[in-house]
């Protein structure tokens, strides 16, 4: 069982890591440069990631699978996790990097990995889609707020009111949030999807993960990562171990089992998503901590996720 879980987790995480390595190599050999990578980040943020979320959510039947207790738990765990991440970021002196620390620590690969992970185990992923609906909008609203408030590009002469309005505008016009809203609305209204539309959206959605990971790898600078090893190791511990230790027992106590518990595990303990880097760069952050966190948590999550799966399976909860 342990070997099967390890192979399953490696199959889910190693290709992600290899795509980042591929992007880094492409930069080193000159096939990608700074300008191209920057444009690739913008393209991914504004088109393919929203298409991915729309594709996942628009086809889910939320009315049939709605579980208020489960959705509320996912949302509450996300908010509390963010609070823990904020407290950890305050230990870091550079205020401009605190936004990256917060986002990298609380934000999981829920949308990218959640449905695939649960479907691999149970053959369907209705609870994963519900988890995504409950958490990913919060992920992005919090990310926009935190990254806006800590952005190095902030005009220090702006009043608090102007900064609030700019942050609110960033939330309302965020392409990822718009993709989520459109997908949920499409699902709730049961609007049919013509083959032309669904196929076109799926083409864009299928590009989201590889393009974001290639751009991340191409933007990663080893020389800059040396100064953020300690803070990134802390992020990885919080992301892959601490949150699971806090919230998985609570989830079990509340009666969540099987597919729901696996969806919660992915929400809590999966690697920091590559879209964090895309978001950080689009709000003017350097992105080094985020890129390093994505790489480190991706490498380690194959083993930590396997460990959590093994524990939950041994105890008979999944």
Give the Cα separation of 80 and 93 in Å (integer): 23
Can you state the percent helix, strand and coil of the chain, rounding each to 5? 80, 0, 20
Give the Cα separation of 169 and 177 in Å (integer): 12
Q: In tens digits, what is the pLDDT along the chain, a chain of 318 residues? A: 567 766 766 676 677 778 878 988 999 999 998 888 878 878 887 898 888 888 877 877 777 778 889 999 999 999 999 999 999 999 988 887 899 999 999 998 776 666 556 666 665 656 777 787 788 888 888 988 898 888 876 655 566 677 777 778 877 888 878 888 898 889 888 888 888 988 999 999 888 878 877 887 887 777 666 678 899 999 999 999 999 999 999 999 999 988 889 889 988 988 888 778 888 888 888 888 998 898 888 888 878 887 888 888 888 887
Cα angle value 38/295/34 (rounded, 5°): 20
Give the Cα separation of 42 and 62 in Å (integer): 31
Kindly calculate the radius of gyration of the chain based on its CA atoms and give it in whole angstroms: 19
Taking CA atoms, 176 is separated from 6, 136, 273, in Å, by 32, 9, 13
Would you kindly state where each structural domain of the chain is located, as residue ranges?
Answer: 2-314
Distance in angstroms between the alpha carbons of the first and the last residue of the chain: 13
- Please tell me the CATH code under which domain 2-314 is placed: 1.20.1530.20
What's the pLDDT at 161?
72
Cα angle value 41/239/80 (rounded, 5°): 100
Residue 169: partners with Cβ closer than 8 Å, 6 or more residues away: none
Give the Cα separation of 262 and 308 in Å (integer): 10
Which residue has tokens 């699902």? 187
Give the Cα separation of 90 and 220 in Å (integer): 24
């Amino acid at each position: 069982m342990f070997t099967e879980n390890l192979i399953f987790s490696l199959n889910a995480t190693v290709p992600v890591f290899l795509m980042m390595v591929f992007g880094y190599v492409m930069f080193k050999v000159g096939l990608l440069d700074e300008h191209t990578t920057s444009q690739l980040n913008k393209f991914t943020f504004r088109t393919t990631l929203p298409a991915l979320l729309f594709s996942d959510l628009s086809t889910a039947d939320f009315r049939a699978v709605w579980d208020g207790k489960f959705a509320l738990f996912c949302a509450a765990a996300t908010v509390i996790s963010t609070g823990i991440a904020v407290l950890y970021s305050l230990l870091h002196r550079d205020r401009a990097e605190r936004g990256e620390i917060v986002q990298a620590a609380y934000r999981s690969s829920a949308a990218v990995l959640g449905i695939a992970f649960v479907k691999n185990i149970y053959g369907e992923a209705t609870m994963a889609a519900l988890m995504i609906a409950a958490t990913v909008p919060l992920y992005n609203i919090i990310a926009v707020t935190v990254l806006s408030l800590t952005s190095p590009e902030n005009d220090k002469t702006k009043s608090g009111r102007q900064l609030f309005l700019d942050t609110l505008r960033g939330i309302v016009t965020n392409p990822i949030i718009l993709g989520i809203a459109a997908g949920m609305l499409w699902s709730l209204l049961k609007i049919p999807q013509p083959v032309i539309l669904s196929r076109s959206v799926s083409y864009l959605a299928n590009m989201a993960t590889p393009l974001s990971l290639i751009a991340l790898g191409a933007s990663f600078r080893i020389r800059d990562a040396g100064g953020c090893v300690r803070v990134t190791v802390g992020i990885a511990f919080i992301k892959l171990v601490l949150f699971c230790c806090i919230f998985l027992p609570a989830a079990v106590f509340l009666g969540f089992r099987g597919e729901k518990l696996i969806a919660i595990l992915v929400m809590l303990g999966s690697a920091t998503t590559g879209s964090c880097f895309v978001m950080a760069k689009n709000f003017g952050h350097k992105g080094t901590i985020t890129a390093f966190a994505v790489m480190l948590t991706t490498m380690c999550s194959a083993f930590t996720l396997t460990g959590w799966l093994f524990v939950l399976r041994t105890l008979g909860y999944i």
